[in-house]
Amino acid sequence: MAGWLLLVGIVTAAYLGFALLALTQARPWQRLGQTAPPTGIRRLALRTLGGLALLSALVLCVVRDGPSFGALLWATAISIAAVAVALTLTWRPALLRPLAAMATAERKVRYSRMETNGKGTAKVPPNNPTRP
């Protein structure tokens, strides 16, 4: 039972990881009906979170099956997860909207905070083009 739960965790983490990474790229954002992916620190945050999700998938794999089976499980599972993200973007892009919305919603907060810190970067345009 624990094995199955871990497996669900692995698949979820790997899928989320690649979904977050996809949200740093131009084409996936187009598929979501928006124009440009986040830039600057937003993109860095998405990448970091995506990387962490993939890393946590690896940790779960090793916890489940030990280092050798775990590493193999991870290496094969993430390939499939990445294909799954791509197929989601092809046929059901709407499924990734909540994730994209979270990304942009948080962005506003971060953006205003950066402004108050006086560190607002010129890279982020004042009129957010990713929100129609």
Partner 1 sequence: MDQTFRKSMAWLHTWAGVVLGALLFAIFWMGTLSVFDKEIDRWMMPDTRLAAPLETVSLDRLLPQAAAEIDPNVGLWWLGMPGDRQPVAEFWYVDMNGEWYGPAFLDPRNGARIADQGTLAGTGFIFPFHFSLHLGWQNLGYWLVGLAGMAMLALLVSGVVIHRKIFADFFTFRWQRKLPRSSLDLHNLTGVLGLPFHFVITLSGLIIFFAIHFPGVVNSVYGGDRATFNRDAFGSFQREATGAPGSLAPLDRMAAEATRIWGGDPPGFVRVWRPGDANATVEMRRTRARSIDMNVDAVHFDAATGEVLRTHTAAPVVHVQRFIAGLHFIQFEHWPLRWLYFVLGLSGCVMTGTGYVYWVETRRKRHAAQGLPGVRIVEGLTVGAVAGIIIATLAFFVANRLLPLGVTFAGQERAALEVWAFYLIWLVTFAHAWSRPGRAWREQCWAIVGLAMLAVVLNAATTGDHLVRALAHRHLWPVAGMDLLLLAGAPVATLIALRLTRRRIAARPSQDALKAAE
Q: Which residues bind partner 1 (CB under 8 A)?
A: 7, 18, 22, 25-28, 30-34, 65, 68-69, 72-73, 75-77, 79-80, 82-83, 85-87, 89-91, 93-94, 132
Cα 36 to Cα 30: distance, rounded to the nearest angstrom:
7
DSSP string, 8-23: HHHHHHHHHHHHHHHT
Residue number with CB closer to partner 1 (16 or 85): 85
Q: Exposed, middle or buried: residue 59 (CB in 10 Å: 0-12, 13-18, 19+)?
A: middle
Query: Residue 34 or 56: which CB sits closer to partner 1?
Result: 34
Work out how close the CB of 6 gets to partner 1 at its nearest, in angstroms, rounded to a whole number: 10
